Amino acid sequence: MRIATWNVNSVSARLPRLSAWLESARPDVVCLQELKCSAEAFPAEEISALGYESLVNGDGRWNGVAVLSRVGLSDTVLGLPEGPLFDGGDESRAAAATCGGVRVWSVYVPNGREVGHPHYAYKLEWLEALRRTAQKEAPGPMPYAILGDYNIAPTDDDVYDRSAFEGSTHVTEPERAALKALRDVGLTDVLPRPLKYDHPFTYWDYRQLCFPKNRGMRIDLVYGNAPFSAAVRDAYVDREERKGKGASDHAPVVVDLEL
C-alpha cells in the first residue's frame, strides 16, 4: 500500500498537477492539506474519475484537509475531537478515515504566526488535543498514522539554517516539546532513513530562490504507530513535484507499506 501526504496550497490551483501526480504515482491513500476551498467546492468529481473517494473538511478559507482513497473510506471523522477554537471558530484542520485496514489522520497543524501571538498558544493547545486523540487510538493493533503539515521542524537538522529562524515559530522548544509528547504516545517519525540526498526538506518558500538553493524545512511529517512503522518498506520526499510551473511550495511525502 502506498500512502502519501501533500500540502497542495490550494487544491483548485493545483488540480492539474494533483491529477497528473495521482495518475503517475498511484498512491492508494493521499492526505491533503491547505485546500483553500469549502467542502462543497472541492473537485470531488474530478478526483472520483481517477478512482478515489474523497473525505473533505473545508470551510472555504486558507485551511482545509482531505483524505483521498481508492481502498475505501470508513469510520470517518471531521475535525479534531475536543480541539480548541480560535476566535470562536473551528478551523478545518483535521480529518480521519480507515482506508484498506490502515487508520489515517490528515492534519494541518496551526502555523502559530509568531511567538506570543494568540495563534501560537492555539497551536500548542491544538497539538495537545491531537496528542490526547493519538493516546487513545495509537496503541491499538491496527496500523495507524498521523500525516500532514505539522508546521514544526523536529530538529535543527530539519531546517537549512537554524540561525535564519531565530525567534520564529516552527523551531521553538515548546513546539518541539509538543511533537515529542505526541511521539511519546507510541508514534515514530517514519521518514528518517537512508535517502538519496542529505536533507529531505518538504517545504521551500517561493521567494528568494529558496528551492533552487535548497533553503528548505522538513515540516510535512508521517508519525506512525508500531504496526504502521513495522510495515514501512520505503519513505521519501517527491522533490520532482516541487519543480516547474504551478507547483505547490510543499512536496509530497510518500510511504510504501507491506501489509
CATH code for position 129 = 3.60.10.10
Q: What pLDDT, on a 0 to 100 scale, did the predictor assign at position 95? A: 98
Burial of 77 (0-12, 13-18, 19+ CB in 10 A): middle
- pLDDT 10s digits, 58-117: 998 889 999 999 999 999 999 999 999 999 888 999 999 999 999 999 999 999 999 999
Give the least confident one: 5-14, 21-30, 157-166.
Answer: 157-166
Q: What pLDDT, on a 0 to 100 scale, did the predictor assign at position 198? A: 61
- pLDDT 10s digits, 114-144: 999 999 999 999 999 999 999 999 999 999 9
Residue found by looking up cell 500548542 in the block: 124
User: 140-153 burial, b if ≥16 CB within 10 A, otherwise e?
Assistant: eeebbbbbbbbbbb
Q: What pLDDT, on a 0 to 100 scale, did the predictor assign at position 194? A: 46
Average pLDDT for residues 45-61, to the nearest whole number? 96
**CA distance linking residue 185 with residue 188, whole number of Å:** 9
Across the chain, what does the average pLDDT equal?
95
The DSSP bridge pattern shows strands 65-69 and 2-7 to be unpaired
Residues 52 and 70: beta-carbon distance below 8 Å:
yes
**CA distance linking residue 50 with residue 40, whole number of Å:** 19
Output the nine-digit C-alpha cell for 204.
521551500
Q: What pLDDT, on a 0 to 100 scale, did the predictor assign at position 200? A: 82
**CA distance linking residue 118 with residue 122, whole number of Å:** 6
Q: What pLDDT, on a 0 to 100 scale, did the predictor assign at position 76? A: 98
Amino acid at 20: A
**CA distance linking residue 1 with residue 256, whole number of Å:** 6
Q: What is the pTM assigned to this prediction? A: 0.96
SS3 call for 239: helix
- Structural domain total, the chain: 1
Parent domain of 215: 2-257
- pLDDT 10s digits, 198-255: 668 999 999 999 999 999 999 999 999 999 999 999 999 999 999 999 999 999 999 9
Beta strands in the chain (DSSP E): 2-7, 29-33, 53-57, 65-69, 74-78, 94-99, 102-108, 144-149, 188-189, 203-204, 216-217, 220-224, 232-237, 253-257
